[in-house]
Structure 1
Amino acid sequence: MSVGGCVASLPLLPPPPPPALSHRPSLPPRQAPPRETPIKNRHVFVTGGSSGIGLALALAHRAASEGASCVSILARSADKLEEAKRAIQLASGVDVEVFPADLGERASMI
C-alpha cells in the first residue's frame, strides 16, 4: 500500500495454528521391514505360475536354487502350467507340482 509516496508495511501476523486432528485415528507405530525368510527345505507355492511367466519362473527358479524342497505353481491354464513345470525342473531339478485353478472362482479351489 502506498501512502504519500511511501510504502506502508503492515505488520505480519503469525500463521494460524494447524487444525486439531482429533477426528483422525492415531496411526500404529512404524514397524521394521520384514526380514527375508530362508526357503531352504521349504515348500514354495507360486500363484499365477503360468503367466507373467518372467516373474513366476524367476520366483520358482530362485526358490529351487536356494534349496526349496518343492515348488508348487497355480494358474488357470493347465497347458501353460505344464510348460512352466518342465522349465523349472530342467533348470533346477527340484520337484514341481501344478494346480490348475482360478483364484477368482471359489469352486475351482475346492
Structure 2
Amino acid sequence: MIPSLSNALTDAATYIAAHNSWSKQHTDVLKMATEDDFYNFFKLEHGKALSSIVKSCLQFEGLDNDNKTIGQKARAALIRVGKENELNAIRVRRYGITTEELEKSVGPASA
C-alpha cells in the first residue's frame, strides 16, 4: 500500500466510522483502495475503533451504486483475515462473514 493512500484510507474510514457520514472525497479514497489495502489496514488497525471502522466499510456493500465495491473489497479482505486461523475466523464472524465464505477454496481450481 502506498503510504499516502494508507494515511488517506485510515483518515477516510475513521471519519466515516466516527461521524456516520461521508463526502465524495471519502468514498473516492475508499474506492481507490484495493482488497490488499483493506486487508493491510484491518490487520494494522487495533483498538476500540476497529469494529466501527469495519462496520462502516461494510455498510457500502448494501448500497445500489458505485460505492458498493467498497463493501465488497472490505468483505473480501475480512475473509482473507478469517482464513488465517481459527481465532481470526471467530473474529470476522461478528461482521457477518459466514463459515461457507471462509471454507471456499481460493484460486482458479475452485471455479
TM-score over 0.5 (shorter chain): no
TM value normalised by structure 2: 0.30
User: Going by fraction, where is strand more abundant, 1 or 2?
Assistant: 1
Structure exhibiting the larger radius of gyration computed from Cα positions = 1
User: Going by fraction, where is helix more abundant, 1 or 2?
Assistant: 2
TM value normalised by structure 1: 0.31
